[in-house]
Amino acid sequence: MIKNWIGTVRSKGKLRVAAEGLSGGAWGTIFDKALKNFNQLMKDKGINLELVATTKEAPAADVTVRSAAKQASFNYSGGSYSKAFDGNGKHGLTVQLSDSITKEITEAHIFVPATPRITSSDPKSRLLGADGCLFILVHELIHAAGLDNDEHTLDDVFCYPGELVEGKTAADDKLQPWGGLGKPMPPFVLSSKTIASLQQAWP
């Protein structure tokens, strides 16, 4: 499903994104790079959306990015959310909150694995390199823009599932669409399907 953001946000063509607790570890330098890569994709494909970093959390921020080790949790007006989460995995989670009447998105919460590892089931395996982490977050930012799991593809950064292309060192790690249906990324690729979906969400 493709969801629109509320009109007051959509009309500006911008989402304010805050990073919460990402200053160290695997995600120390990823946040800014992810926003830069996402924005370049939007510009190149003519999509009316720009992500703007902010230091303020909701409601000042539309999207909040956090790392999680075992539980993805947050509080919001009128309630709380909590779900088990694999902090050693190589994929994230995005939760969209919507207006009960219009069904338009009012805020989004992204979770990335705190310690993404080459072998998720082995807590002693080395951490995933920066490019792999970048892939994870760019993918989740597309979810935050309004696309849910039904819009996943097979051949671009919005693919599911993705697979690891392990490098000799962490600096050489990349992720790619499963089965080699797309090339290792970055540089990131958007399929015509994903472009059309984003254009529908951000006319």
Residue 25 pLDDT: 65
User: 82 near 71, Cβ under 8 Å?
Assistant: yes
Which residue segment(s) compose the domain that 108 sits in? 7-201
Q: Provide the number of structural domains found in the chain.
A: 1
Residue 57 pLDDT: 67
**How many CA atoms within 13 Å lie on the side-chain side of 133?**
26
Residue 58 pLDDT: 61
Residue 128 pLDDT: 95
Q: How far apart are the first and last CA of the chain?
A: 16
Q: What is the CATH number of the domain that holds 48?
A: 3.40.390.10
- pTM reported for the whole predicted model: 0.95
User: 15 near 106, Cβ under 8 Å?
Assistant: no
DSSP secondary structure of 68-126? ESSEEEEEETTEEEEEE--TTSS--EEEEEE-TTT--EEEEEEEEESS-BSSTT-TTSP
- pLDDT tens digits, the chain, 203 residues: what are they? 999 999 999 999 999 999 988 766 668 789 999 999 999 999 999 999 999 999 876 678 999 999 999 999 998 887 899 999 999 999 999 999 999 999 999 999 999 999 999 999 999 999 999 999 999 999 999 999 999 999 999 999 999 999 999 999 999 999 999 998 999 999 999 999 999 999 999 99
20 found inside a domain: yes
Residue 193's H or E segment, with its range, is helix 192-201
Residue 79 pLDDT: 87
Phi-psi category of 164—alpha, beta or left, where left has phi over 0 and alpha has psi -120 to 50? Answer: beta
Residue 9 pLDDT: 97
Residue 24 pLDDT: 64
119 found inside a domain: yes
2 found inside a domain: no
